[in-house]
Copies of this chain bind each other. A is one copy, B any other.
Amino acid sequence: MATGREIAQLCGVSVATVSRVFNQPETVNEETRERVLRIAKELDYRPNEAARALSTKQSTMIGLVWDTDHRRPDWRHPYLQDLLIGLKSALSAHGYHLLMLATSGDAREVGASLADPVGYVNMTRRHHLGGLVLIDSGSDAEAFEAFAQSGVPCVAVDVAVDGPKATYVTSDNVGGALSAVRHLVGLGHSRIATITGPVGNQPSDARVSGYRTGLLDAGLSWRDEYVVAGDFYRSSGTVAMQRLLALDEPPTAVFAASDEMAVGALLAARAGGLRVPEDLALVGFDDIEIAAVVDPALTTVAQDKPGFGVAAAKAIMAMITGAGRQEPVVLPTRLVVRGSCGS
């Protein structure tokens, strides 16, 4: 592994000049610059990132905070792969890398466990990380608030956070829900129920809000008994659907705040002797792979999955390069019409 010093010797210049060639090329004479570059290339020189980070007090790494809820091993992120790919490629364009932080077990650890925000924030300092990307794993919205307040640049995915250097990217949940309800209304439904995510969950609340708007726009009235809360998991969709079916006047259409719950609802409906879409129309949210494969295929509100990663990367790079607080990014959604609502 060639070092800057070696290059310097071979070129008959000082290490400072070698460093300048890479960091402030305009300040070094063109001739010597090219000589340095040529030798550097010959020796396949790569600057040592640790030394550079030590010296500049900043690295080219972004931390990725993503834990899973060990109580729910069945949790699957609806678009993890696309998110990571989007993040990685957008970050690459700036020469940045993604560091998946370990959450425990460092023998050298002095203070608290790393499972908490404090631990993560410490990691960002230890590694001179440029910032953090926070990926929701279903139940850490509160913890994310702590990150956001810490002052470390961070952008959350699908969780609204606020802080001096924090922002987030999310889907147009209101609009997405609205388009779903409109679709159902357009098909003639007037008894439209919804299965929501956990109460208090930001995306879920927004979807409820869109649902409400959709009803009102269509001159339909809000019915408390048509709004039942789930937790985004499939089984909660089943339970919720069972409750809806037990109503005196069951809905003819259901908008579920996640595809998983929609699938759960589908199972419950079928178990209850209903045919989908003939007796019950169903719309989901997310457009996970399963949606296209269940029978009938699920009409759903698709999110711009790679868009999350790209937008998150853009926001964090902006904050790193000095820009101030970033506006939250709201990604458009798209209604994907398949078979679960009839035609």
Contacts and interface: CB of A to CB of B under 8 A. Distances in A.
A47 B294 CA distance: 52
Interface stretch (A125-133, A175-183, A249-257, A276-284): A125-133
B68 A122 contact: no
Interface string A275-316: 000000000000001100111000000000000000000000
Given A51-B54, A125-B1, A126-B49, A289 B76 contact: yes
Contacts of A128: 48-50
A330 to B, nearest CB: 24
Contacts of A46: 110-111, 122, 125-126
A53 B48 CA distance: 10
A186 interface: no
A12 to B, nearest CB: 19
A100 B102 contact: no
Total copies of this chain within the assembly = 2
A80 interface: yes
A63 to B, nearest CB: 9
Contacts of A93: 104-105
A88 B99 CA distance: 11
A167 to B, nearest CB: 22
Interface stretch (A37-45, A153-161, A196-204, A215-223): A37-45
10 contacts: A1-B125, A22-B108, A37-B110, A50-B51, A89-B103, A92-B104, A97-B99, A97-B100, A289-B289, A289-B290
